[in-house]
Amino acid sequence: MIEAINRAHAWEMAHDPTVVVLGEDVGVNGGVFRATAGLLEKFGKERVQDTPLAEGMIAGMSIGMASQGLRPVAEIQFMGFIYPAMDQIANHMARMRNRTRGRITLPLVMRMPHGGGIHAPEHHSESLEAMLAHHAGLRVVCPSSPARAYGLLLASIRDPDPVMFLEPVRLYRLVRQEVADDGQALPLDVCFRLREGTDVTIVTWGAMTFEVMRAAEALQKEGVSCEVIDLATLSPIDHDTILESVAKTGRLVIVHEAARNCGIGAEIAATVAEQGLYDLQAPIRRVTGYDTVMPLFRLEYDYIPSVARIMDAVRDTLAE
Is 124 assigned a catalytic role? yes
Question: What does the alpha-carbon distance between residue 91 and residue 56 come to, in Å, rounded to a whole number?
Answer: 12
3-state secondary structure of 77: coil
Active-site residue (options: 9, 114, 124, 135): 124
Q: Bridge partners of 233?
A: 141
Q: Is the dihedral of CA 85, 37, 140, 231 positive or negative?
A: negative
End-to-end CA distance of the chain: 39
The β-bridge relationship of strands 71-75 and 109-114 is parallel
47 backbone dihedrals φ, ψ, rounded to 5°: -115, -10
Question: What does the alpha-carbon distance between residue 295 and residue 225 come to, in Å, rounded to a whole number?
Answer: 34
Dihedral angle at the C-alpha atoms of 81, 87, 89, 92, nearest 10 degrees? Answer: -160
Is-contact 210 171, C-beta < 8 A? Answer: yes
Rounded to 5°, angle at Cα 176 from 223 and 162:
100
Is-contact 167 208, C-beta < 8 A? Answer: no
Question: What does the alpha-carbon distance between residue 130 and residue 167 come to, in Å, rounded to a whole number?
Answer: 15
Question: What does the alpha-carbon distance between residue 204 and residue 71 come to, in Å, rounded to a whole number?
Answer: 30
Contact residues for 315 (Cβ-Cβ < 8 A; gap 6+) = 224
Residues counted in the chain: 320
Question: What does the alpha-carbon distance between residue 179 and residue 176 come to, in Å, rounded to a whole number?
Answer: 9
Q: Is the dihedral of CA 170, 179, 151, 13 positive or negative?
A: positive
> What residues are annotated to the active site?
124
